[in-house]
Structure 1
Amino acid sequence: MLSFIPFPALPTPPSWFPGHMNRFTKQLPALLSRTDVVLELRDARLPLTSINHNLERAIRKWRAERGRDASMITPPSASPTGPAIPGYGSAICERIVVLNKHDLVPEWGVEPFRKTMAARFPDQIVHFASCNKPRDIKTLSELLVNIAKTSPHATEMNVLVVGMPNVGKSTLLNSLRSRGIAGRTAKALQTSAQPGHTRTLSTRLKISENPLIYSYDSPGVMLPFLGRGEQGAERGVKLALIAGIKESLYDVEALVNYLLYRLNILDPVSPAYLKVLPEGSEPTTDVYVFLEQLAARLGMRVRGGDVDTARAAIWFVEWWRREGSLISASAPRSIGRRNPRVSQGDPPGCLDDATHYSLPIRRGWGFDFEWTVDAASSDSESKGNVEEKMGACIDTYMRMMEVQEELGGGVSQTQEKKRAWEEKLAKRKARLSRKNV
């Protein structure tokens, strides 16, 4: 078992904000004016990192314009179907946060996370879903239908789907349409494993006939700038791992280094990557040792017989997206258990049935939550304790984002220079127009 898991060195985050993202961001206020429900998708593995704070500001303004102050709203039920009524005000104005790819996070953290979010964000209905789980789609469809029925005099309800790139917006809408429309329905929206496939706002898509509900699919919008320092670097690597950012912008070895760190945090006793290493391998924090072992296990070699660690790195990231996430989602809440790969004769450094570390141990849920537990008490870590630790993580993250915004963390130096130049040109144009009058 790993008693110390060092944080890896990470590269400076790249900037990836194509023109279609900028255009949609400018269109968003006008779109919200004819929207009844905002359906925001996030990746369940990154419930905080996949928040787009530019969209947050636009949504807060939309709700304020409709008289939906968050302080006036009754907190939603802990039930996945949410509140029975749409809240304050006569017009429908709801926000549903869908944590997609529900099956890729450990189940033991779902309910504590839902309760933590309900306590801190009463204006949001949190729903966990996986597009390949019919029950999840059915529950979400019923939630939308129930909201539409709270306004019986409205002829239709319009839903706008927003979120970061590659969180599954188009796939979810196709699933909702198949659920809400009787008979066989053709695939209405094209999907892709690569980010940025949807580049324009879709035409209205009917997802329910009774009541009548329409939806728009929108382009995935990345943050114009991921932030400065370690926080910005970590945010970029996380989004690259879920294919939210173009892979070509990152060295794959940096992704493997961070992925190794996170899998060790999720399960320091028997991390998921042991499944693909040679028999008898131990957990490691050394990315070079790991890649050499993996390349040897896979038989990946370059001319001359040396192991091909570059090809092994690419294979590992793809394996994690395809299979490893499911394996890591089975990580138990308690960690005081024996590593099945450790023999009785192994020296200290591996946890057995009778031995516990006296040092604190880092634990986590998904890739956004990490906390310290005492090894001696890790077996009995309760749901209430997990909820408290998740709440502390959320509070810390939100404070960090507020500080970054105050310091201009949402804008890079290049963007600051561009804005200053645009302002200078605007002033020059205004002076020339006054002279010509």
Structure 2
Amino acid sequence: MVLPHILPPILPIAPSWFPGHMMKFTRMLPALLTRTDVVLEIRDSRLPLTSINRSLEGALRKWRLERGWDPNNPTRRIIAAEACEHIVVLNKRDLVPEWGTEPFRLAMAKKFPHQRLLFASWQRPRDIRNLSEILVNIAKQHPHAMELNVLVIGMPNVGKSTLLNALRHMGIKGRTPKAFQTSVNPGMTQALSTRLKLSLDPLVYAYDTPGVMLPFLGRGVEGAERGIKLALIAGIKEGMYDMQTLAAYLLYRLNVLNPIAPAYLHLLPPRSQPTFDLEDFLTNLAQRMGMIRRGAELDLARAAVYFVRWWREEGGLLSASSGFNIGVNTNSSATSPQFTTPPGQFPSTQGWGFDFQWDLQPHEVTSLQGGIDPTTQVQDKMERCIQDYVEMTDREESEENNVSQTQVKKRRVFEEKLKRRMKHERR
């Protein structure tokens, strides 16, 4: 039996959410980088590509060039008088399957060799210790500097403040108070923090910064999907999306990630089968949970809210515990893809996290069952997904699909005023 190709639901136009404190920090960033030694960019492991904030990349590129990195070779540094490192931390690693982390790291290293990438979770002391040691080692490589200053950036609700609290607790011995307030809702941090000491010897300080959303999420299908993904991880202000819309996309993604035994089956009655119909799923869920409105009607809206919030916590862990979705893998601790499907039975679509999706052909299944290293194939598929993402974002930029009509009008007005001023000065 060949499983059907899963089609995504129709998504609404992505809303714009870019409060004033985000704009203020974006304008401050170039000045902040002049006194920064390490940029610690936090992304969400479930959205390793979507949680890249492209609007900050120009300032980071200029910072690297000013600190002596070769513009033609991003891995070569011409002048190394002071520290200048860009470290990308894929946070919340416990919410993605472990088998994909190493292939993803290798795939990203090929495309972005100037970035040091690692996975982390504040709940795993080994990850926090590893990150703390990296920062301390960078400081020791520049003993002439009195201190190492770390700037932590990223989109809203990717876990910046929580990770910094864990780093402080790891680096400062003895009882340390919680340094920053944290929240499950985006936008808690709205201003640059005071310096937080992460290490005493050598001295390492960090600044927490406001989560910065893209000013405009984009047009068409790409922009709509980008918005819905960020809303699902609570990266966009609550209420900007209808919960049933989020539930529809979540149902689709969980079916992609594991079409044979998706994680949501834990919410339904025993012996339930996977479904692609949102109304059918929410009806079964409301019945199971006893969600009844007045008039003995099932409360599907409440069921949708429950489904999304369940996935953000327990459901994400369940989804991450599954193996590679060719057949059913009962080894939840596997760190490499497991293949158990008999010949001729395979799902046509594979996925990892919410940003990676690829087709798997019958001959590729046969090759894997013949002994070819599955990690190599997964890395190859991920490299293609990353390349597609880069091409898509480059195309959006060249066609100005990543700029709203309001931004275009403001820019034209600014250019017209500048032209008139120059004309007036020439007289």
TM-score if structure 2 supplies the norm length?
Answer: 0.91
Q: CA offset at residue 376 of structure 1? A: 6.9
Q: Which residue of 1 aligns with 2:358?
A: 371
What is the rounded CA distance, in whole Å, between the counterparts of 1:33 and 1:214 in structure 2? 15
Aligned match for 2:156, one of 152, 165, 169: 165
Q: Which residue of 1 aligns with 2:208?
A: 217
SS in 2 for 1:126: strand
Q: CA offset at residue 334 of structure 1? A: 4.5
Equivalent residue letter for 2:203? L
**Residues 204 and 214, structure 1, Cα contact 8 Å, conserved in 2:** yes
Q: Which residue of 1 aligns with 2:109?
A: 118
Q: Which residue of 2 aligns with 1:50?
A: 51
Q: Deviations over 1:182-230 (max 9, x none)?
A: 2111111111111111000001111111100111100000000001110
What is the rounded CA distance, in whole Å, between the counterparts of 1:118 and 1:314 in structure 2? 38
Q: CA offset at residue 301 of structure 1? A: 1.3
What is the rounded CA distance, in whole Å, between the counterparts of 1:362 and 1:262 in structure 2? 11
**Residues 323 and 329, structure 2, Cα contact 8 Å, conserved in 1:** no
1:254 aligned onto 2:255: no
Q: Which residue of 2 aligns with 1:137?
A: 128
Q: CA offset at residue 37 of structure 1? A: 0.3
What is the rounded CA distance, in whole Å, between the counterparts of 1:70 and 1:149 in structure 2? 26
Q: Which residue of 2 aligns with 1:82?
A: none
Equivalent residue letter for 2:389? Y
* Number of equivalenced pairs: 412
SS in 1 for 2:191: coil
**Residues 336 and 375, structure 1, Cα contact 8 Å, conserved in 2:** no
Aligned match for 2:344, one of 356, 361, 375: 356
Equivalent residue letter for 1:117? M
Q: Which residue of 1 aligns with 2:29?
A: 28
Q: CA offset at residue 414 of structure 1? A: 1.8
1:206 aligned onto 2:197: yes
Summarize the alignment of residues 307-386 of structure 1 with structure 2, pairs less than 5 Å apart.
Answer: 307-337=298-328, 356-357=344-345, 361-374=348-361, 377-378=364-365, 380=369, 382-386=374-378
Summarize the alignment of residues 30-429 of structure 1 with structure 2, pairs less than 5 Å apart.
Answer: 30-69=31-70, 71-74=72-75, 89-337=80-328, 356-357=344-345, 361-374=348-361, 377-378=364-365, 380=369, 382-424=374-416
Q: CA offset at residue 331 of structure 1? A: 1.9
Q: Which residue of 2 aligns with 1:347?
A: none
**Residues 73 and 88, structure 1, Cα contact 8 Å, conserved in 2:** no
**Residues 72 and 88, structure 1, Cα contact 8 Å, conserved in 2:** no
CA RMSD between the two structures: 2.3
**Residues 6 and 285, structure 1, Cα contact 8 Å, conserved in 2:** no
Q: CA offset at residue 336 of structure 1? A: 2.5
What is the rounded CA distance, in whole Å, between the counterparts of 2:101 and 2:71 in structure 1? 23
SS in 2 for 1:249: coil
Q: CA offset at residue 87 of structure 1? A: 8.9
Q: CA offset at residue 288 of structure 1? A: 1.1
Q: Which residue of 2 aligns with 1:344?
A: none
What runs of 5+ residues in structure 1 fail to find an aligned partner? 76-85, 340-351
Q: Deviations over 1:139-185 (max 9, x none)?
A: 00001001111111111110000000000011111111111112111
Equivalent residue letter for 2:84? C
What runs of 5+ residues in structure 2 fail to find an aligned partner? 331-339
**Residues 217 and 226, structure 2, Cα contact 8 Å, conserved in 1:** yes
SS in 1 for 2:30: helix
